[in-house]
Each structure stands twice: as structure tokens, then as C-alpha cells.
Amino acid sequence: MSAGRVSQQPFFGAIALLFAVSVTGTIRWCTSMSAMGEMPMPGGWTLSNAWTRMCGQTWSYSASSFLGMWMLMMVAMMLPSFAPVLWRYRESFGRVSATRRAWLTTLMGAGYFSVWMAFGIVAYAVGVALAALELQWPVLARAVPIAGALVVLGGGALQLTAWKAHHLACCRSAPARDGISPVRASTVLQCGMHHGLHCAYCCAGLTAILLVIGIMDLRMMALVKAAITAERLLPDGERVARGVGVVVVGAGVWLFMRAALLA
């Protein structure tokens, strides 16, 4: 067995363990939230418990619970496509000790997922605010199915743009060996955050669809995860992204027509 193959085993073993923990936690969260039921709303849809405070909960507890589950979900969704890029970043650190290499790799991952945490904070704040308005104004609640269809349409259309292609190319790339210089903790953390921003922008449309259509829907999560992983890892990622966009636009048209007929 080659030395390169041996050196990969601890890294991808840790990645596999982290992925398994995040998937298990996400499934348990979605199952427990679904068991509580959702609130029927005017317009024939239901409001997810993720955007409301449970009886006896404080807003700080509700927010921290959401963000904890958000990070589990993001790790489960993004880690398969991020792991190969993280490995190439790890190799770019050059000749450093194994302990320092592991520390720098951890910092890179922390920088990457800190961006997703920031997006989760924004998503929670917006979701809670919209939920409060929808509970207060039935007219606004009745417009949610049409608004959701428009979000799906917009997310699909975004997949077809040059903006998406640019950020996807950045997500698929990583520096060659010895590409990060100097190898300082702050530099590595910034590289992780920079890469995370590209990936968050690249996934903006699909993430918005997930938030609107079903943040606790395991099937929707699996579909979005499959689309993200395919466009990152398959050889012609841009073509895959456009194919996903065409399918999503078609789904958005169908959702819009159905919502308009039921309005």
C-alpha cells in the first residue's frame, strides 16, 4: 500500500465519521419536528415549526436549537462535495508536521462552515419575521403558495446564469500543492471563508428552494444534496447545473399554475 494511500485514510475516515454523525442528527431532528405537526395556514399550506417558538421556549433557545440543527444539516449536505477540495487544500500546506497539518485542515473547515452559520442566522431571522407576518395577516399567508412557486422559478433560473457558473467553477477548484503561502492560521481560516462564500453563493438558489419548500423534508434535502454533489463532483459540472436548472424551472411553472388555480 502506498504512503499516499495510507496518509489519506485518517482524513477520509474522520470525514466519514463526521458525515455519519451529521446525517444521523439531521434525521433525528426532522423526525422529531415532523412528529409535532405543522400549523395549517390560509391558502392550503402548513407553517413549519422551525419558524415558530414552542410553548415554554425562549427565543434564544429556539434560535440556538435551529442553528445547531442548521449546521448539522449543512455538514450533511455539503461535506461530500467539500471533502475532495478540503483534501487538496490540505495537500497545499506543504511540508508541515502531521499535527499542524491536522490543525490547519480543521481551521479550513471551520472557516468554510462559519459562512454557512452566518447564512443560517440570516435565514432564521428572515424566516421568523415572515412567519410572524403570515400569522398576523391572513391575506399575506394566502399569497405564500404563489410566492413559493416564484422562489422555485427564481432558483431554477439562477442555475442557468453566468454568475452561477462562475461561483461553481470557484467551488470546484482548490490551490495546487504548496499553493497557500504563507501557511498561517489566519491565512488558512480566510481561505476557508473565501471558499465558503463561493459555495454559499453557488448554492443560493437551491438553498432558498429548500427553505421555502421544506426545510424539514428529508426527501427535499436528499434531492438538493444530490444536485449540489453532482454539479461539484461530476466532470461537466456546469452542464449538470444547467440541467438541474431546467428541471427546477419546470417544477416552478407547475407549482405556480397549481397555486394560481387554487387561489
Rg (C-alpha) for the chain, rounded Å, is: 20
Mean pLDDT taken over the chain: 88
Q: What average pLDDT score do residues 11-37 get?
A: 89
Q: What average pLDDT score do residues 13-23 get?
A: 95
Helix boundaries (H) for the chain: 3-35, 59-91, 98-136, 138-142, 144-158, 162-172, 185-202, 204-213, 218-233, 237-262
Identity of the amino acid at 206: L
Total residue count of the chain as it appears in this document: 263
* 184: its cell numbers: 498561517
By the 8 A CB rule, do 12 and 83 touch?
yes
In 3D space, the residue among 72, 86, 94 whose CA is nearest the CA of residue 20 turns out to be: 72
The helix (H) or strand (E) run that includes residue 196 is helix 185-202
Look at residue 45 in the predicted model and tell me its pLDDT: 84
Beta bridge partners of 47: 39
Q: Compute the Cα dihedral for 96, 99, 105, 111 and give only its sign.
A: negative
Look at residue 181 in the predicted model and tell me its pLDDT: 63
By the 8 A CB rule, do 216 and 34 touch?
yes
pLDDT at 146 over 60: yes
Q: How far apart are CA 241 and CA 68, in angstroms?
A: 29
* 93: its cell numbers: 500546506
Of 9-23, 103-117, 163-177, 193-207, the poorest mean pLDDT is in: 163-177
Task: State pTM to two decimals.
Answer: 0.89
By the 8 A CB rule, do 128 and 134 touch?
no
Look at residue 262 in the predicted model and tell me its pLDDT: 78
pLDDT at 216 over 90: no
Beta bridge partners of 41: 45
